[in-house]
């Protein structure tokens, strides 16, 4: 007999069950998809490792520098003819190249150096983080200027947005560094050559032939915020190169001459000229020679106030070598 008190699912209950089931299926699919991608990448990485081992063995035995070709799912092996260990003619690399660069990482082997490296373009999904380049890692932040990535020695460099010095310093910290520390004359020249066409100042980008009002200038890590006249780098490194600190470019405790709000330090060209004291406790670098001024030459540093309105960019330095 059927109990008349028993009830079936209501339409709303069925819809809820359907939605929950669909969500669980979707999560399961995503998890499975990630597993498959990891498995394919693992197979490609192991193939490159086996190629390296075979190439070294053949070389040690005086045999031909060739390797056994692997049949990989979603990957192809690229080298010069006859599976040669010396890699592609253009770059000397044996490459495990995925069918989709946004889906799987690329692996490469260099016979001459013995290095195995990887690169992954689709870093936003959180997979294969060991293969993501520093450039890609930094440029995922909207405050990092695209295509400003540079390397020198044990440091990487990018342009970070401010607009204030403190904003630029805080953004530098978010990517593992500080505003740039300049240790010698050669590095100072390198900064000028590398960034004079990329930095924006007073809404003009790379205006290296302009007047002093639009010449590219950028925040650097030098400051005397803790004690007036005692300059330090925001990175904590010792000041061993003083640039133009002692050449009249730093006003220190002197009065500042210009058009600005003396209370806030914000420049305002609509205001009359004033001669007031404003504590200028942060610094910037001039990246080109102005057409109408012989004092602010390229490579010169100057002290400034934190929220000076014409500035928008700082140059961040991130250490890359392991101690």
pLDDT digits (tens, 9 = 90+) for 197-242: 999 998 999 999 888 888 899 999 999 989 888 999 999 999 999 9
Cis peptide before 107 (omega within 30 of 0): no
The pair of structure tokens assigned to 295 is: 């004092």
What ranges make up the beta strands (E) of the chain?
A: 75-78, 93-98, 106-110, 116-119, 150-152, 155-161, 178-179, 200-201, 204-205, 217-223, 232-233, 256-258, 274-276, 282-286, 301-304, 313-319
Helices (H), the chain: 11-60, 134-139, 165-174, 185-195
φ, ψ dihedrals at 125, nearest 5°: -90, 0
pLDDT of residue 249: 74
Enter the tokens of residue 151: 């390397």
What contacts 24+ positions apart, CB below 8 Å, involve 266-270? 266/307, 266/308, 266/309, 267/308, 267/309, 267/310, 268/309
pTM surpassing 0.75? no
Residues 282 and 305: beta-carbon distance below 8 Å = yes
- What is the percent of the chain where pLDDT is above 70? 81
pLDDT (0 to 100) of residue 140: 85
Instruction: State residue 136's pLDDT score.
Output: 83
pLDDT digits (tens, 9 = 90+) for 92-136: 999 999 999 888 999 999 999 899 988 887 765 678 888 878 888
| Position 296 pLDDT exceeds 60 | yes
- According to DSSP, residue 97 is labeled E
Three-class secondary structure of residue 171 per DSSP: helix
């Amino acid at each position: 007999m059927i109990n008349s008190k028993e009830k079936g699912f209501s339409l709303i209950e069925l819809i809820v069950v359907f939605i929950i089931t669909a969500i669980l299926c979707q999560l399961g699919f995503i998890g499975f998809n990630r597993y498959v991608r990891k498995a394919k990448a693992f197979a490609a990485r192991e193939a490159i490792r086996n190629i390296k081992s075979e190439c070294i063995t053949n070389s040690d035995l005086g045999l031909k520098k060739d390797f056994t070709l692997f049949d990989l799912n979603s990957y192809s092996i690229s080298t010069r003819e006859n599976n040669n260990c010396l890699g592609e003619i253009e770059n000397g690399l044996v490459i495990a190249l995925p069918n989709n660069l946004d889906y799987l990482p690329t692996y490469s082997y260099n016979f001459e150096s013995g290095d195995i490296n990887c690169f992954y373009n689709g870093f936003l999904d959180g997979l294969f983080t060991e293969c993501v380049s520093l450039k890609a890692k930094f440029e995922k932040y909207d405050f990092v200027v695209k295509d400003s990535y540079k390397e020198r020695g044990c440091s990487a460099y990018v342009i970070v947005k401010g607009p204030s010095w403190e904003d630029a310093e805080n953004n530098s910290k978010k990517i593992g560094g500080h505003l740039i520390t300049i240790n010698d004359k050669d590095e100072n020249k390198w900064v000028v050559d590398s960034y004079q066409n990329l930095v924006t100042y007073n809404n003009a980008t790379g205006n290296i032939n302009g007047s002093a009002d639009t010449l590219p200038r950028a925040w650097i890590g030098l400051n005397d915020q803790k004690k007036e006249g005692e300059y330090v780098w925001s990175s904590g490194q010792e000041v061993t190169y003083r640039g133009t600190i002692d050449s009249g470019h730093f006003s220190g405790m002197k009065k500042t001459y210009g058009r600005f709000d003396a209370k806030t330090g914000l420049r305002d060209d609509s205001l009359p000229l004033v001669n007031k004291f404003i504590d200028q406790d942060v610094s910037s670098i001039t990246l080109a020679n102005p057409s109408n001024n012989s004092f602010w030459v390229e490579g010169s540093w100057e002290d400034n106030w934190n929220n000076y309105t014409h500035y928008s960019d700082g140059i961040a330095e991130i250490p890359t070598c392991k101690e």
